Amino acid sequence: MRRGTRFGVAVALAITLGAMLAGCVASQGGGAAGSAAEKVYVKPGEKDAYYAFLSGGHHGNIYVYGIPSCRHITTIPVFTPEPAVGYGNDEESKAMLGGYTWGDAHHPGLSETDGDYDGRWLFINDMPNARIARIDLKDFKTHQIYGPIPNISAAHACPFPTPNTEYVFAASRFSVPVPNRDVKVEDYAKDFKGIIAGIKVDPKSGEMSMGFEIQMPPFDWDLSDAGKGPSMGWQFFTCYNSEMAYDSLEIKASQNEMDYFAAVDWRAAQKAVDEHKATMVNGAPVLDPVKVKDIVYLIPVPKSPHGVDVDPSGQYVCCSGKLQAEVSVYSFAKIKAAIDAKKFDGEKMGVPTLKYEDCLEAKVPVGLGPLHTQFDGKGYAYTSLFLDSQIAKWKIGPPWNVVDKIDVYYSIGHLMASEGDTRHPTGDYVVALDKLSKDRYLSVGPTHPEAAQLIDLRGPKMELLYDFPTYLEPHYAQMIKAEKIKTFTVYPLAENNKPGNVKRAEDARIERKGNRVDVYGLVVRSHFTPDIVKVNQGDEVYFHWTNLEQDDDIAHGFGILWSSKNMQIEPGETKTMHWTAEKTGINPFYCSNFCSALHQEMQGYIEVRAKGSPQAAIVRPDAKTIADINAELAAK
């Protein structure tokens, strides 16, 4: 009896300990055991195991979520102005947007080293304006927008980085005349061209620049993926509309049994450009496959393909024919052997075509409307089925069969597995990115949010864990282990060498040259120095504010009344904003970002006098203000 009791206590203790341990794992990002609720539960104060970057579609931005909690952490402004932080409003980001206020962002592309995400940068395309942005993952800010890329009309197959981020790519979704000129649309087949562009990425800075362009037949170039391992050095692009229809595409572009995917040898293409074999068109070196051989090949794919996805080993290229119920899996070894043997089956506008049978490895009967494929690193692939509203899990390798299916709600486009397009997918989760949410959320009127669904891949069967709505409109997304991303907490003041910066109160000043006024100011809790700015009507005023704070999350705002001018200045940062003194009178400004107990006091006045009123060429703060600010800084 006594022994039994003691045994009972030990069992109870073991169970409690076990539960505590399980709870502990769950709190760090979802344990493998337990209910769906436990698997997505991340305890208050704990952090998620993954960052997920969802493209914002025609919102032009990137949404950042934590996985498995599915919490929306932030939105990164990229192609669209964002008034809260002043993106597109301060001089630097305004110049970067280049006058555009819209983008359609489809495919995030995390930078890679040796085929795995390295946590340095995130690239994202703006399809309609053929631009690529680079976000630095140290500060989650857009640092470069490259483009519009010349000769590219709608960069949909974009950016899909190569395994060491040597290149990001762009290809024309809608062919147009190259160079664009006065032609008839009826002369499509003769005058229109597709273009594939390889954009170089500087290995240190991430800065993008033109590498090469290849002139392609005027098909609709659709999606892309990079070769890796044995297929390293090759980039693949699917297309539809090999019929070359220019109207009623929904009927006319679905006539052919086969369309194509292109295999580009990007090292050979770059070499050809370096050897001056290209023709400059609108500032880009364009290679014509009629004249320049051995850079690109076409391989037939059944029925209007959409996604092309290379498996983690780099041996297989998986193409989804969206009007077919199969994924066509090609062997890169077979493609390479056919190319090396020059076993061609004709050509299209100079691009040699290979034979379907020579390259195909397997056909996997996944279901209706296959679009995109991701991987788990355990020998399985996951294909989204738009028409069936399902994900099919299938075996890579014989017997190439479907082993599991799960329903999603509804009409899935892309899917994102954890590090699921790298050489080493983690196999933890897949997120379904559904085009329709219909009845899944509280109604907000005739348009519903988009739906994302977290699915557990760790068990023998896929298990739906959680639904979460997103704003318009994710296409592709990528998920990276949180530990790979190391962010700044502040911008180190010592490294701030932005023009117009002010690091000491003594250097704050207002300078006038003609009707241009430069305010070199600083912000620190809870004061603008200067907080009185005297100008004349018609003056062009440039406010350069430096935030001298070196504490996490102490950002100040700068909003000017009766204007569209607002921006945020983060700790250690300098930003410049232009404002024209249009009317005489007093024009207040204030800190728009809650920063301190005296945030409400953080304000100032611009005094606008009549044109020609006497103004000093330079105004500096008085000794008392300087002493006060220095005392405040010393106290921090």
Instruction: Assign 553 to helix, strand or coil.
Output: coil
- Report what 306 binds from ligand CUA, ligand K7E, none; CB cut-off 5-8 Å by kind: ligand K7E
Size of the site for ligand K7E (CB under 6 A): 11
In Å, the largest CA–CA distance within the chain is 102
Q: Should residue 78 be labelled a site residue for ligand K7E when binding is judged by CB under 6 A?
A: no
Q: Should residue 106 be labelled a site residue for ligand K7E when binding is judged by CB under 6 A?
A: yes
- 457 or 595: CB nearest ligand CUA: 595
Q: How far apart are CA 431 and CA 422, in angstroms?
A: 16
What would the x/- binding string for ligand CUA be over residues 571 to 600, using CB under 6 A? --------------------x-xxx---x-
The two tokens of residue 631 are 């005392």
- 308 or 535: CB nearest ligand K7E: 308
N-term to C-term CA, the chain: 66
71 neighbors 30 (Cβ within 8 angstroms): no
Among residues 39, 475, 544, 575, the one that binds ligand K7E under rule CB under 6 A: 475
Among residues 105, 318, 385, 602, the one that binds ligand CUA under rule CB under 6 A: 602
Residue 453 has φ and ψ, to the nearest 5°, of -135, 125
216 neighbors 193 (Cβ within 8 angstroms): yes
Among residues 39, 107, 131, 141, the one that binds ligand K7E under rule CB under 6 A: 107
53 neighbors 62 (Cβ within 8 angstroms): yes
What is the smallest separation between the CB atom of 527 and ligand CUA, expressed in angstroms?
A: 8
- Report what 476 binds from ligand K7E, ligand CUA, none; CB cut-off 5-8 Å by kind: ligand K7E
Q: Should residue 413 be labelled a site residue for ligand K7E when binding is judged by CB under 6 A?
A: yes
Q: Should residue 556 be labelled a site residue for ligand CUA when binding is judged by CB under 6 A?
A: yes
What is the smallest separation between the CB atom of 20 and ligand K7E, expressed in angstroms?
A: 42
Element of type H or E holding 188: helix 188-191
- Report what 371 binds from ligand CUA, ligand K7E, none; CB cut-off 5-8 Å by kind: ligand K7E
What is the smallest separation between the CB atom of 307 and ligand K7E, expressed in angstroms?
A: 7
Among residues 278, 371, 391, 406, the one that binds ligand K7E under rule CB under 6 A: 371
CA nearest neighbour of 360 among 340, 332, 379, 386? 332
Location of structure tokens 């704003």: 471
CA nearest neighbour of 207 among 106, 279, 120, 273? 120
Among residues 164, 254, 496, 526, the one that binds ligand CUA under rule CB under 6 A: 526
- Report what 278 binds from ligand CUA, ligand K7E, none; CB cut-off 5-8 Å by kind: none
- 58 or 525: CB nearest ligand K7E: 58
What is the smallest separation between the CB atom of 432 and ligand K7E, expressed in angstroms?
A: 11
Q: In sequence order, what E strands does 367-515 have?
A: 370-375, 380-385, 390-395, 402-407, 412-417, 429-434, 450-456, 463-470, 477-481, 509-513
CA 8 to centroid of chain Cα atoms: 55
What is the smallest separation between the CB atom of 526 and ligand CUA, expressed in angstroms?
A: 6
| H and E: helices and strands count for the chain | 9, 43
- 406 or 555: CB nearest ligand CUA: 555
Instruction: Assign 234 to helix, strand or coil.
Output: strand
What would the x/- binding string for ligand K7E be over residues 148 to 167, using CB under 6 A? --------x-----------
Instruction: Assign 362 to helix, strand or coil.
Output: strand
Among residues 234, 476, 543, 589, the one that binds ligand K7E under rule CB under 6 A: 476
Cβ neighbours, 10 Å, residue 238: 30
Q: Should residue 524 be labelled a site residue for ligand CUA when binding is judged by CB under 6 A?
A: no
State the sign of the Cα–Cα–Cα–Cα dihedral 473, 477, 480, 485: negative
Q: How far apart are CA 398 and CA 378, in angstroms?
A: 14
Q: Which residues lie near ligand CUA (CB under 6 A)? A: 526, 556, 591, 593-595, 599, 602
Q: Which residues lie near ligand K7E (CB under 6 A)? A: 106-107, 156, 223, 306, 371-372, 413-414, 475-476
